[in-house]
Chains A and B, each alone.
Chain A
Amino acid sequence: MAIESINGCIGCEECIKSCPTDVIRLDPKTKKAVITFPEDCQICHLCRLYCPVDAITLTPEKTIPVIVSWG
């Protein structure tokens, strides 16, 4: 769902800082970015665009039900 995985993270924290909805946090032990609150991901791809090593994979799907006006 949404932000799916982080592979090859170097721990620079660019994604953590640039996520508008606080989805990603730094693991204090491994010093790597961890997807912590995926349910709040708005699939805006800022994390991926800011990542210097192209480590982030996103998909358009979201597993929680999506409320829309009509559809």
Chain B
Amino acid sequence: MSSSKENKSISRRNFIALAGGAAGAVALASMGLPMGWAENSPEVDVEALGLDKFSTDVLVIGSGMAGLFAAVKAHDAGAKVMMVSKGRLGSSGQTPFAKGIFAYDHSNEKLSIDEFVAKVSRSAMGSNNEVYTRQMAEHSMARVNELKSWGFFDSAVYHKSFSKPIEERNIPVQERIVVTHLIKEDEKIVGAAGFSTNEQKVIIYEAKSVILCTGAGGFKPNGFPIGDLTHDGTIMAYNIGAKVTGKEWNDGHPGKSENAAASYDGWGNMFEQKPSTVSIEVHHDLGVDLNYMAYTSGNPVKMGGPGSENKTTVSGGPYTPAEFDRKNAQQNQGPQSEEGRPPRGGSKPPGGGKPPKEGGGPPGMDGDRVGGSSAGMAIHKSEGLVPINDQCESNIPGLYAAGDALGSYMSGGIYTQIGSSLAGSAVQGGVAGKAAAKYCKQVGNIKISDPKINEIQEEILAPLKREAGYSPAYVTQTLQGIMIPNFILYIKKESLMKGALAYIEELRDHHMGMLRAANFHELRLAHETANMIVSAEMKLKASLMRKESRCSHYRLDYPEMDNENWQAWINIFKGEDGSMQFEKQPFGQWPNEGVDII
């Protein structure tokens, strides 16, 4: 591992002296902690690296559920499409672990779509964007039927079924490409850039339109399979002037206290199950309530198994509308219910009356829990680029986003309809793909200038070229230590968030630009770490700004909902001077225009 390599370096000895003597350093090393500052000894010849260039109409970044439909629908609408992914088609982001997909069935549902949307809005306490809630429900069945025809429901792993429509259409897919930059020229998108971990070269994509299907993100927390999700799309877009939103909401999944890092084991055999469809079941699943319980009454937080009594009752804490309060109903639910584990949307087993075949939801729900298993991730579809209309379009012409990369507020600041996450990604992918293809028709050929390419290439490879620097693993762990504790992001109060912000700003100013990488794996980690730092800053600042509690955002110092001031979303964008700017966008309106959503 990396620590053994660093053993020899002189600067490590200096670090040891600074860190409080050899004993301390030995203790650190024995724990497997990566050492921070050290000399860089690149394993690749940076000067000899090649550069590839590709041109396309629509560039789809990401190969999960949203990316699949974005590519397919953009192609079917007549565009030349190319897909790039940090991972593999059907095997990256949260998609491979999502097993429930919502399908609104007109013939069987008791609720009409209007009633469904109204119910979601009641649970979301106004924080959802009804246009996207409705769009998801209306298109869900069509997308599910397409998935069915590709064999999606026949296997627990999705690469094969995802490959079917992509191969039929001859859409080129490049896997294991880390895209680090979006490129904007003349106020519109012209492409993206990144590097290939396989071929060890920089790659430039010239594209008339880009669809970000880059998923959500977190702080590489333990116990949740989101180690590859670091808000890359959001931060890349923010860097070129896109507005982003949703940074104050929290996904509050706990993990198992025993082997807290084992994502697979925490979910029983769920990752091995075939996916299935889910019908209407609207919840108000906080997750943050468990964090509040641990905060007020200490540990351990025991999760009741079926039939067990929930002895701990705490007063106060996050508010759940009475209609959606499951505390009483919880006792009666069978083993297949999602009790004990707040749902994580698409990837949870179908709850309620639809037990999965393999004998219920994740086993091992009893026992001690630890918090923060999905730390750094917001509610599905709440965090990401701000859409300017119902076409998944961002404020940058030609730049679209779909799925968890789009802050569509399909669900709101709380997770509402189970299985809607996966359905929403499919639906939004399709909408964005079609819209991007249409946009391309009015755009001429793209040519990215050479100086721009050189500038970006320098930025991409900078960590490889540093003679010394901080290891990305060390900076990530430092960031985790600042951001993951219960009293920062989950149970929020001003003093502690300001304290954490001071640390994060320090990482931003004095570590982000000094990350080193010896190989392309570390180069990926370096870029991911930088994205996490910027995202942490956004999360703290947005959380400080929202001086109320609503849905999954809970402020200990402002525990009440403030409808007078906070019927609004928070948008974040880069100011002229490069500083982070914030604005409110009233619920029910599109940004800036004061135009009502409905």
Contact = CB atoms under 8 A, between A and B. Distances in A.
B490 A69 contact: yes
Contact of B225 (A2, A40, A44): A44
Interface in B99-154: none
Given A62-B259, A70-B294, A71-B371, A42 B227 contact: yes
B32 A20 contact: no
Given A50-B91, A60-B259, A22 B521 contact: yes
Contacts of A43: 261-265
Interface residues of B, number: 64
B92 A44 contact: no
A66 B263 CA distance: 12
B248 to A, nearest CB: 17
Contact of B88 (A17, A68, A70): A17
Given A38-B1, A69-B371, A49 B261 contact: no
Interface string B25-49: 0000001111000000000000000
Interface in B182-206: 197
Contact of B91 (A36, A39, A46): A46
A49 to B, nearest CB: 5
Interface string A39-71: 110111110011000000010111111111111
B93 A68 contact: no
B261 A62 contact: yes
Given A63-B32, A65-B33, A68-B255, A2 B261 contact: yes
Interface string B564-583: 00000000000000000000
Interface in B67-120: 87-88, 91-93, 96-97
A62 B222 contact: yes
B353 interface: no
B287 to A, nearest CB: 11
B227 A20 contact: yes
A19 B198 CA distance: 13
Interface in B210-226: 221-226
A39 B375 CA distance: 18
Contacts of B224: 42
A38 B291 CA distance: 30
B485 interface: yes
B96 A46 contact: yes
A44 B521 CA distance: 19
Contacts of A61: 259, 262
B473 interface: yes
B486 interface: yes
Contact of A45 (B261, B271, B486): B271
A21 interface: yes
14 contacts: A17-B88, A20-B93, A22-B197, A22-B521, A42-B226, A42-B227, A44-B97, A49-B271, A50-B91, A60-B259, A66-B260, A67-B372, A68-B260, A70-B301
Report the 9 A-B pairs with minimum CB-CB distance, sorted nearest first. A69-B371, A69-B372, A71-B370, A60-B262, A60-B259, A20-B228, A62-B261, A42-B227, A44-B225
Interface of B: 1-2, 31-34, 87-88, 91-93, 96-97, 156-157, 159, 175-176, 197, 221-228, 255, 257-265, 271-272, 291, 294-295, 299-301, 368-373, 375, 473, 477, 480-481, 484-486, 489-490, 521, 524-525
Given A70-B299, A70-B301, A71-B370, 20 more contacts: A17-B176, A18-B88, A18-B157, A18-B159, A36-B521, A42-B263, A44-B96, A44-B225, A46-B157, A49-B272, A60-B258, A60-B262, A62-B261, A63-B32, A67-B477, A68-B223, A68-B371, A68-B373, A69-B375, A70-B486
